[in-house]
Amino acid sequence: MSSRRSVAALLAAASILTGCGAAPETPQAVPASDTVPPSPTTRVPRQVDQSDRPLVAFDPCLDIPDEALVEAGYDPQSKDVDAVAADYHTFLICGFKTPQRQYGLNVLSSNITFAEEQEKVADYSTPIELDGRRALRKVASTLSCAVSMETNYGILIVSRIFFSTRSDQNPEVERCIGIEDTASIIARYLPGG
């Protein structure tokens, strides 16, 4: 009889343990709308200054797609990378050339403020609006024309430079034709649109 009680006790204990060891739940799939893809602005910029200014969230050498450069008339393979990081600001710089080498494009992304840029270029700039952003059209010389746009981290400068080797150029007439269109193409890829 005692062996029956022992067997019964073992069976009871086994059934209790089996009940406690329920199969683990399978994880629920997260709906696609709840997932957040990593943002390109979360990477550490290739240059960082020592100030308390925002990090430069847009790198023209990394964030402008080749198709945008082609649309704007520039050769993506002509990319020239540069950067300047001082203690008090950062500039991430990328240069491109047209396939015919008629002119070059410099795109500068910086954490200086739009107000600082306005003050610096007041003598040769005109306030404009570009795709809903405050901007400045800048004509500092006969060989260049630029647009500076306000961003959520500072400014973006799109600057076209005429090559002095062109024999057919008329830089005073041509220098700003299409610069705002080029700036708009590039501005599509800024963080926040």
Fold observed for domain 50-187: Protein Transport Mog1p; Chain A (3.40.1000)
In the numeric block, which tokens belong to residue 24?
A: 């683990």
Evaluate if residue 17 carries a pLDDT over 50: no
The domain limits of the chain are: 50-187
Give residue-wise pLDDT tens across range 151-181. 999 999 999 988 766 555 565 667 788 999 9
Confidence at 130, pLDDT banded by 50, 70, 90: very high
Cα–Cα dist 171/160, whole Å: 11
Lowest mean per-residue pLDDT among 7-11, 48-52, 60-64: 7-11
Is the entire prediction scored with pTM above 0.85?
A: no
Determine the average pLDDT of the residues in 15-42: 42
As a whole-number percent, the residues of the chain with pLDDT over 90 amount to 54
Helices in the chain by DSSP H: which ranges?
Answer: 2-20, 60-63, 66-72, 114-120, 171-174, 179-187
Tell me which of 171 and 118 has the higher pLDDT.
Answer: 118
Contact status, residue 144 vs residue 158, Cβ threshold 8 Å: no
In this prediction, residue 83 carries a pLDDT of 81
Q: What is the pLDDT of residues 56-100, one digit of tens each?
A: 999 999 999 999 999 999 999 999 998 887 888 999 999 999 887
Task: Supply the mean pLDDT for the chain.
Answer: 79
Please state, in angstroms and rounded to a whole number, the distance separating the CA atoms of residues 50 and 88. Answer: 6
Q: Does residue 34 have a pLDDT over 90?
A: no
Among the listed residues 114, 40, 42, 48, the one whose alpha carbon sits nearest the alpha carbon of residue 84: 48
Instruction: Give the per-residue pLDDT at 129.
Output: 96
147 pLDDT exceeds 90?
yes
Whether 84 and 90 have beta carbons less than 8 Å apart is answered as yes
User: What is the percentage of the chain residues whose pLDDT exceeds 70?
Assistant: 72
Q: What are phi and psi of 70, to 5 degrees?
A: -65, -45
